[in-house]
């Protein structure tokens, strides 16, 4: 058996080596054109897939609709990769200029997310595998102020100061947010570069924060992500497609230009992995109130079991400690919840450290003041995890509603 | 399909005929101030059957010249010939091809006889390839705005379409007249 399997492996590797030697150059060069044609053919009609072998999995050509009542990239099952970029508008950009920028960026986003090259795309071959690419736009206070006669949400602006914050202005605020996400990092890089090239005459890059989750296909869709502490992170989250999600996330005020949009908070949270290393497994679970393997509350056995905050251990202490993260993060008022869509970051270490990692805590909520701030205040007052977490960046944007074909993102603010 | 058109269309269509007879460029279709309104009302143009301009864009510029790129798609059963084009922001519009000038350098020059869009085919307008050249611009072409492009075909049909302006770092082709001739030295 062992011999036969070795022989098979050897035959396979010989085949693939020969493939590389003889066909590699041709295959590499022809692949983009072949894929492009394939995507076109499948779009154009419902004819059965051609009999030629396909190298790329179906996931690569998966498309998330760009147009709609709400922008994509929020209720979308999180992609494996996401980069958040904030732009600073140039001094001379007025309301008309902002509208021109958004018309261009909207057209780029609509084409790229459909797996087509943008207009004037100098690398069109990089656009053909969208892999669920989404582009989501947000506006900071300066954009809202371009149209003073249309009131913007009162919460739009920096969050109140929290005692745990050690904010670095290099990761804070901004005028325009781009959230670009895809299961394919090359597609993402191309889409983001296309958008930034088209924004260049209007704005400069303020900050750029790439994040990642597990690769698409590594886990079942819908699996709660793990952060770099190893914790299952985001168990209690409103479920897209439910009334609960809609009520918590979308701005319902019909008189507001932001109706159908949402509020976005990005907190860059440094995670001190080197200090976390010194904490044993039980301490790690106590700090959060959940087990590390399944993410179940310490009072339960499965991830989505409801925690029993009243349960006491043999000596009379709460099983889920007073300082535990899940206790502090839960407020009595169920309308004070948020929708989390976070990503990990892992950047080159500096000094003598070996890690420079953390979480891009991205949350969507209709009212930042009513929903996000009280939760953060509760965590600020007491949360054992604060021993290992340091918020270093903070930014708030209003996410405009989606648009229809022919329209552009931001038209409810910038248009007539 | 029949459509009534503006002064500009009439001038461009007239210029299209001039191109066919060897005239070098489409002069001043722009403001069209010299044409009388009564002429406009009388001018009726067909939209070419099965011919569309898709994915078109214009390179943004502060002054001087620019170009239109995109695909002219002909789903009809007859070849069609684009003989002239115009936008109000340019006083001189030419149909350009990019060719080897004999010394290995690619240069652009006016295409004699216009662009032929084959039946069932697509004519690509690309940086570094065929394009519609906009010269003597009346002002900046600002990214995010649009220009109204008029395409006049040899059979008298016309397409008029808004085309977005985009920033683009390429499309810096050399004019035939600007290209250094072999042995000219520096």
Secondary structure of A92-111 in HEC code, one letter for each residue: CCCHHHHHHHHHHHHHHHHH
More confident of the two residues B11 and A308: A308
Query: Inter-chain contact A119–B55, Cβ cutoff 8 Å?
Result: yes
Q: Which of A119, A201, A202 sits opposite B57 (nearest CB)?
A: A119
| pLDDT tens track for B91-146 | 999 999 888 888 888 787 888 889 999 999 999 999 989 999 999 999 999 999 99
Contact residues, chain B to chain A, C-beta under 8 Å: 55-57, 59-60, 69, 142-145, 164, 166-170
Q: Please indicate, yes or no, if residue B179 is contained in any of the structural domains.
A: no
- Res. B38: pLDDT tops 60: no
Tell me, what CATH number does B124's domain have? 2.60.40.1890
Residue of B nearest to A105 (CA): B144
- Which structural domain, as residue segments, surrounds residue B158? 2-29+44-166
Q: Counting runs of H as helices and runs of E as strands, what totals does chain A give?
A: 11, 9
Task: Report which secondary-structure segment, H or E, holds A405.
Answer: none
- The whole-angstrom separation of Cα A179 and Cα A399 is 10
Dist CA A271 CA A386 (whole Å): 9
Work out the percent of chain B whose per-residue pLDDT is above 90: 53
The per-residue pLDDT for B112 is 83
pLDDT averaged over every residue in chain B: 78
Reported as a single tens digit per residue, the pLDDT across B141-181 is: 999 999 999 999 999 999 999 999 999 998 776 666 665 54
Per-residue pLDDT tens digits for A71-91: 999 999 999 999 999 999 999
Angle at A273 between CA A271 and CA A274, to 5 degrees: 135
The residue length of chain A stands at 416
In angstroms, the CA B48 to CA B55 distance is 18
CA–CA dist A253, B143 (Å, integer): 33
A253-293 pLDDT, tens digit per residue, is: 999 999 999 999 999 999 999 999 999 999 999 999 999 99
Q: Total domain count for chain B?
A: 1
- What pLDDT is attached to residue B176? 63
Q: Which residue out of A108, A183, A233, A380 is catalytically annotated?
A: A233
B62 neighbourhood in chain A, CB within 8 Å: none
pLDDT band at A203 (very low <50, low <70, confident <90, very high): very high
Is B185 a domain residue?
A: no
pLDDT band at A12 (very low <50, low <70, confident <90, very high): very low
Would you say residue A13 has pLDDT above 80?
A: no
What is the predicted pLDDT for the residue at A57?
A: 72
Assess if residue B177 is contained within a domain.
Answer: no
Interatomic CA distance for residues A90 and A59, integer angstroms: 38
Of A269, A299, A273, nearest to A284 by C-alpha is A273
In eight-state DSSP terms, residue A370 is I
Give me the pLDDT at residue B107, please.
80
Kindly state the average pLDDT of the residues A105-132.
97
Q: What is the pTM of this model?
A: 0.83
Q: What angle do CA A267, A291, A297 make, to 5 degrees?
A: 85
CA nearest to B156, candidates B83, B67, B74: B83
**CB neighbour list of residue A265: distance below 8 Å, 6 or more residues apart:** A159, A338, A361, A362, A363, A365, A368, A372, A394, A395, A396
User: Residue A254's pLDDT is what?
Assistant: 96
Q: What's chain A's average pLDDT?
A: 88
**For residue A56, is pLDDT > 90?**
no
Q: What is the DSSP string of A262-325?
A: EEEEEEEEEE-HHHHTTS-HHHHHHHHTB-TTT--BTT-SSTTSPP-TT-B-TTS-BSS-TT-H
Tell me which residue in A104, A197, A200 faces B144 most closely, judged by beta carbons: A104
How far lies B6's CA from each of A141, B32, B41, B58, B130, in Å?
43, 9, 8, 22, 27
What is the pairing mode between strands B106-110 and B174-175? parallel
Q: What is the pLDDT of residue B10?
A: 53
pLDDT for position A382: 87
Cβ contacts of A101 on chain B, cutoff 8 Å? 144
pLDDT in tens, A140-163: 999 999 999 999 999 999 999 999
The pLDDT of residue B1 is above 70: no
pLDDT for position B109: 82
Domain assignment present for residue B143? The answer is yes
Minimum mean pLDDT range among A36-45, A116-125, B107-116 = A36-45
Does residue B124 lie in a domain region? yes
Residue with tokens 């003989």: B83
What integer pLDDT is reported at residue A214 of this predicted model?
96
Paired sense of beta strands B90-100 and B131-137, if any: antiparallel
Residue B53 host element (H or E): strand B51-59
What percent of chain A shows pLDDT beyond 70? Answer: 87
In a domain, B186, yes or no: no
Is B167 in Cβ contact with A119 (below 8 Å)? no
Calculate mean pLDDT across residues A107-121. 97
Decide if A201 and B168 are in contact by the 8 Å CB cutoff.
Answer: no
Q: Confirm whether A333 is a catalytic residue.
A: no
Task: Please give the Cα distance from A13 to A119 (Å, whole number).
Answer: 42
Residue B34: inside a domain: no
> What span, in angstroms and rounded, lies between the C-alpha atoms of A367 and A154?
9
Confidence of residue A383 (pLDDT cuts 50, 70, 90): confident
- Measured distance CA(B126)–CA(B152) in Å, rounded: 19
The span from the CA of B94 to the CA of B136, in Å, is 11
- Neighbouring CB atoms inside 10 A of B140's CB total 15
Count, residues in chain B: 186
Please, which pLDDT band fits residue A59 given cuts at 50, 70 and 90?
confident
């Amino acid at each position: 058996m062992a011999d036969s399997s070795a022989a098979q492996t050897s035959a396979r590797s010989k085949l693939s080596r020969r493939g590389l030697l003889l066909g590699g150059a041709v295959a590499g060069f022809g692949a983009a054109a072949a894929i492009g044609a394939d995507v076109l053919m499948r779009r154009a009609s419902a004819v059965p897939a051609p009999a030629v072998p396909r190298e790329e999995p179906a996931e690569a050509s998966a498309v998330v609709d760009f147009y709609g009542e709400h922008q994509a990239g929020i209720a979308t099952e999180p992609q494996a990769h996401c980069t958040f970029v904030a732009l600073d508008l140039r001094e001379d950009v007025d309301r008309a200029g902002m509208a021109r920028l958004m018309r261009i960026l909207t057209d780029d986003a609509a084409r790229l997310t459909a797996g087509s090259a943008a207009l004037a795309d100098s690398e069109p071959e990089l656009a053909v595998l969208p892999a669920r690419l989404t582009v989501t736009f947000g506006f900071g206070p300066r954009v809202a102020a371009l149209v003073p006669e249309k009131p913007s949400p009162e919460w739009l602006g920096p969050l109140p100061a929290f005692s745990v914050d050690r904010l670095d202005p290099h990761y804070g605020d901004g005028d325009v947010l781009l959230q670009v996400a895809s299961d394919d990092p090359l597609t993402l890089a191309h889409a983001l570069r296309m958008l930034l090239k088209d924004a260049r005459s209007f704005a400069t890059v303020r900050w750029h924060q790439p994040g990642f989750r597990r690769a698409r296909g590594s886990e079942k869709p819908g699996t709660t992500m793990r952060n770099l502490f190893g914790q299952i992170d985001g168990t209690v989250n409103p479920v897209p497609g439910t009334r609960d999600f809609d009520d918590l996330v979308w701005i319902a005020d019909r008189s507001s230009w932001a109706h159908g949009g949402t509020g976005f908070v990005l907190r860059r949270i440094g995670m001190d992995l080197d200090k976390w290393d010194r904490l044993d497994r039980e301490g790690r679970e106590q700090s959060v109130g959940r087990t590390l393997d399944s993410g179940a509350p310490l009072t339960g056995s499965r991830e989505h079991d409801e925690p029993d905050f009243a349960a006491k251990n043999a000596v009379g202490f709460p099983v889920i400690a007073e300082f535990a993260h899940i206790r502090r993060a839960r407020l009595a008022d169920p309308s004070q919840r948020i929708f989390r869509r976070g990503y990990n970051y892992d950047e080159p270490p500096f000094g003598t450290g070996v890690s420079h990692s953390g979480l891009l805590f991205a949350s969507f909520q209709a009212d930042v003041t009513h929903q996000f701030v009280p939760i953060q205040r509760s965590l600020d007052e007491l949360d054992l995890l604060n021993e290992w977490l340091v918020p270093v960046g903070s930014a708030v944007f209003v996410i405009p509603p989606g648009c229809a074909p022919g329209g552009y993102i931001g038209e409810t603010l910038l248009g007539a | 399909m029949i459509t009534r058109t503006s002064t500009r269309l009439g001038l461009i269509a007239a210029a299209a005929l001039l191109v066919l007879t060897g005239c070098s460029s489409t002069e001043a279709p722009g403001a069209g101030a010299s044409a009388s309104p009564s002429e406009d009302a009388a001018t009726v143009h067909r939209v070419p059957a099965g011919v569309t301009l898709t994915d078109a864009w214009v390179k943004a510029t502060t002054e001087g010249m620019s170009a239109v790129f995109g695909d002219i798609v002909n789903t009809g059963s007859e070849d069609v010939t684009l003989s002239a084009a115009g936008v109000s922001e340019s006083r001189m519009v030419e149909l350009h091809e990019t060719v080897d000038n004999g010394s290995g350098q690619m240069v652009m020059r006016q295409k004699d006889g216009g662009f032929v869009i084959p039946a069932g085919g697509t004519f690509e307008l690309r940086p570094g390839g065929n394009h519609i050249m906009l010269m003597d611009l009346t002002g900046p072409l600002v990214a995010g705005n649009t220009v109204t492009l008029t395409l006049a075909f040899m059979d008298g049909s016309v397409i008029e379409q808004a085309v977005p302006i985009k920033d683009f770092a390429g499309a810096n082709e050399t004019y035939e007249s600007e290209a250094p001739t072999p042995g000219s030295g520096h």
